[in-house]
Structure 1
Amino acid sequence: MTRVLQVSAELYPLLKTGGLADVAGALPAALAAAGAEPRLLVPGFPAIREALGKECAVAPVALPWSEGRAALLRGRLPGFEMPVYVLDAPGLFDRPGNPYADAAGVAYADNHRRFALLGLAASRLAEGVDGSWRPGIVHAHDWHAGLACAHVAASRSRRRTDARTVFTIHNLAYQGLFPADLFCELGLPPHFYAVEGLEFYGQVSFMKAGLHFADAITTVSPSYAKEIQTPEQGCGLDGLLRHRAGVLHGILNGVDYGVWSPASDASLAAAYDADQPDGKAACKAALQRECGLDAKPDAPLFGIVSRLTEQKGLPLVLEALDDLLDGGGQLVVLGSGDARLEAAFGEAAARHPGRVARRTGMDEGLAHRIVAGSDVVLVPSRFEPCGLTQLYGLSYGAQPLVHRVGGLADTVVDCTLEDLAAGTATGFVFNAFTAEAYRRALRRAFALWSRQEFWARVRAAAMRQHFSWDDAAARYMQVYRGVLAAPGDEPR
């Protein structure tokens, strides 16, 4: 049985800032069902430590610097059938704010230490410090875990492990860049700081560590796997990704339908499904009341659940807000991020009471209610590795309006005449990342809304889409078998 150590900085439902947590929370169970023996390694953030039960000490973890202490613990977390390893380092992880920044949104100055130690702990497990379980695969997620691939490569070169590594890119734009003079604190061999290693334009890149040292690379949709090999979306790493194209795989994320199903979602005002959709109207009415919107069942309600960043295409929404409102629509926004976008949506809500509502932060229950109560979910991202919001929108009958890019292109079918006739249309897709292209998609949404018989057909087709983690897990198992079967050559 393939033993797989999943390494992630976030884990739903205990600690979430975005889709990474959803993936880290859902994939292990799907892998177990596919025949793997997965375990998780996560940092000892307060929410994780508080939830950890049946814990026992596994081994201390020697720090590459002088002060502080760290240890690997093994225990159980609610909702997970498999044991979980927690990197207990209070001096690094016992802090307020989110995993990466303080309460004011300022990145912690020692993030390089915090996540280098996470990678080092993964390599220690690969070396067998837990005598009862040793992984054959270390699967690292995003830049925070990128150094796991480098540390395992260093261990392999010293003949301390024969474990293989898989690195998943969740968003190439966030790379974990640090000054070069901090390399000495990462615990890696000096020659790893090189163009054929962690060096990236005079800095240290945790993302590049994963891309260079991993035995296989995956990313979260087939289209994104192609896009990141281009200068336009390669974020300076497209050359390396083209060089490693033979081990790069695009595997579409799935949906945990135990969490995201309107038929069983306890946070909703009413349950519904594709065959009995009447409850969606009650969810819409409840959302309008909750967010202070006018109680208008005939007004198409557009929802946004997102980090408020330029990447998410939200300036397009603001530029065309008058089009949305003049067409009789309403808008509800949940998210936080860029101060200018936060202010702009706040001003829009103040100017248009009853028609625009804005909520800040990350409220998981409200996120579910927005997707359930919305008629359209807006995901007009400039680029989008996979996107989960549009998948949740499909499940909840909120037709996604998306830019044809990355995972959005792989999962939403535009309401063209031929796709309407074939019954395959599930949303609204625009090609060029321009305000005019977005406006045209918006007009198509209003046109379909005016023909409720067709709207109901598209909603039903959307709700019958199924993006299973079982399918994704089967693909990951193929990747694991491939790297385990590969010749045991020296790491690059």
Structure 2
Amino acid sequence: MQVLHVCSELFPLLKTGGLADVTGALPLALKQLDVDTRVLLPGFPAIRAGMEEEGEVATLDTFAGRIRVLFGRVPENGLELYVIDAPGLYDRSGNPYLDPHQEPYGDNHLRFALLAWVGAELASGLDPFWRPQIVHGHDWHAGLVPAYLAARGRPAKSVFTVHNLAYQGVFPAWQFGDLRLPGHFFGMHGLEFHGQMSFLKAGLFYADHITTVSPSYAHEITTPEQGCGLDGLLRDRQHSLTGVLNGVDGAIWNPASDALIPATYSAEKPQNKTRNKLALQEHTSLQSDADAPLFVVVSRLTEQKGLHLVLELLPELVAAGAQFALLGSGDQGLEQAFATAALRDPGQINVQIGYDEAQSHRLMAAADVVMVPSRFEPCGLTQLYGLKYGALPLVRRVGGLADTVVDSSLENMADEQATGFVFDEFSAQGMRQALRRALALWGRPKDWKAVRQVAMKQDFGWEAAARSYFTLYEQLLA
């Protein structure tokens, strides 16, 4: 079985968020099941610099100009790649999607249509030595893959995974003519979306099967509340819609072997977790205090993540003797508000604006609680990392958070199922109740350690997700 994944980023070559963790891990997990898996990527500078280039597959004249398709590998793990060499489109400094003013590039429709078009070319035999039977696109950047395959008579089956329905790749209608798709593809039954065109809608409409990244989110996106204007289409296609829970790459996220943290530890021998907290306190403004519960946020700073709730409750957290550390960037208002809070209470609040992969590992290893109070959350990887590292997740009962965290109620603790703190109402009051339960449990060290051990023993590896996709691929090919 030959499967081509099409995506815009991949860990460890290029990462702006959780998408890269998924696309970096899932193809490797599929390889363990003897699926012949390759990945197609745009030739962003970090990807070109990080790959081991082995040769040229083809030179093509396209609607976006002349390009080369290169073949290579990820040096760290041998994953096989196709990379589009188109410097005029991809060789730009900074963010892959945004210009220096944090505005989307004006030619993003061409940059990512080309990615999908090359995926369809590979499915049509561009590489004489390898041809995919399944093309699996990820998020709106690859949303046109099923459309181009449909326009070619479906030379391969298509799977389209929605990682976040809120990001839809919407462009002006007049740019449709640049895409070289049949004219009738621009319509209600196609790319048209409220007078514009949506790459995400194209993926949802034309894919042979749609997946998203947790069972709860697969249901939620068929409702008006979380369907982002596409719930009607998703209800029509719900028999071809599956929720497959994301996993954690144990080779990268494992406190027993993590080279990025000061001291390794495990569920069976958790003592060194305290050493990680003390090390973090020593290297930040936080007071050295092993007995102060440490709450952390590692996140994009967006309204979706519910971080205004965290801001509202920070004074109560500090008054209770807890510490708080944040790593993230995004909304400038949130950045400034958290930075101001850190200036106000430097001994108990530490804020680092930006993204630092090593620091995210150190925060998970140091944390007692990781906070993910999202308005909506397709899957969430942060809470999965928290479980693995014994940082009990404090989450809202939504999407993948609902599927992965069990509240520390008395009943769940008695059944040895509790793994964190869960609340329902998206409000400061709703979150406050979960916060109080966390602080109360911290005051009972024996119970805290018991819940932490259950959390660390949860298995959210990629093997289960890979098996689910393998079964789906088999069904499509049958």
| TM norm structure 2 | 0.99
Give the superposition deviation at 1:187: 1.9
- The one-letter code sitting in structure 1 at the alignment partner of 2:139 is D
Matches of 1:286 and 1:103, distance apart in 2: 35
In structure 1, which of residues 378, 387, 392 is the aligned counterpart of residue 385 of structure 2?
392
Give the superposition deviation at 1:426: 0.3
The equivalences for 1:31-46 within 5 A come to: 31-46=30-45
| TM norm structure 1 | 0.96
The equivalences for 1:72-471 within 5 A come to: 72-156=69-153, 162-471=155-464
Range with greater deviation from structure 2 (103-112 or 449-458): 103-112
Range with greater deviation from structure 2 (311-320 or 104-113): 104-113
- The one-letter code sitting in structure 2 at the alignment partner of 1:192 is F
Matches of 1:139 and 1:274, distance apart in 2: 36
Secondary structure of the residue that 2:54 maps to in structure 1?
strand
- The one-letter code sitting in structure 2 at the alignment partner of 1:56 is G
Match of 2:2 in 1: 3
- The one-letter code sitting in structure 1 at the alignment partner of 2:365 is A
Matches of 2:364 and 2:278, distance apart in 1: 13
Matches of 2:220 and 2:99, distance apart in 1: 33
Contact kept, 8 Å, 1:381 with 1:403, in 2: the verdict is: yes
Range with greater deviation from structure 2 (180-189 or 102-111): 102-111
Contact kept, 8 Å, 1:61 with 1:121, in 2: the verdict is: no
The equivalences for 1:48-87 within 5 A come to: 48-65=47-64, 68-87=65-84
Give the superposition deviation at 1:80: 3.3
Matches of 1:300 and 1:104, distance apart in 2: 39
Secondary structure of the residue that 1:273 maps to in structure 2?
coil
Match of 1:17 in 2: 16
- The one-letter code sitting in structure 2 at the alignment partner of 1:123 is A
Range with greater deviation from structure 2 (347-356 or 96-105): 96-105
Give the superposition deviation at 1:29: 1.0
- The one-letter code sitting in structure 2 at the alignment partner of 1:332 is A
Match of 1:47 in 2: 46
- The one-letter code sitting in structure 1 at the alignment partner of 2:241 is L
Give the superposition deviation at 1:365: 0.1
Range with greater deviation from structure 2 (46-55 or 361-370): 46-55
Aligned alpha-carbon RMSD (Å): 0.9
The percent of aligned pairs where both chains have the same amino acid is: 58
Matches of 1:166 and 1:61, distance apart in 2: 25
Secondary structure of the residue that 1:69 maps to in structure 2?
strand
Give the superposition deviation at 1:52: 2.3
- The one-letter code sitting in structure 2 at the alignment partner of 1:22 is D
Give the superposition deviation at 1:51: 1.9
Matches of 1:443 and 1:104, distance apart in 2: 41
Give the superposition deviation at 1:63: 2.0
Instruction: Give the gaps of 5 or more residues in structure 1.
Output: 486-492
Give the superposition deviation at 1:428: 0.1
Range with greater deviation from structure 2 (41-50 or 103-112): 103-112
* 1:414-467 superposed Cα distances (whole Å, 9 cap, x missing partner): 000100111110000001111101001000000000000000000000000011
Matches of 1:391 and 1:347, distance apart in 2: 29
Give the superposition deviation at 1:403: 0.2
Instruction: Give the gaps of 5 or more residues in structure 2.
Output: none
Matches of 1:274 and 1:125, distance apart in 2: 45
Give the superposition deviation at 1:87: 0.8
Matches of 2:431 and 2:106, distance apart in 1: 39
Matches of 1:462 and 1:120, distance apart in 2: 43
Give the superposition deviation at 1:98: 1.4
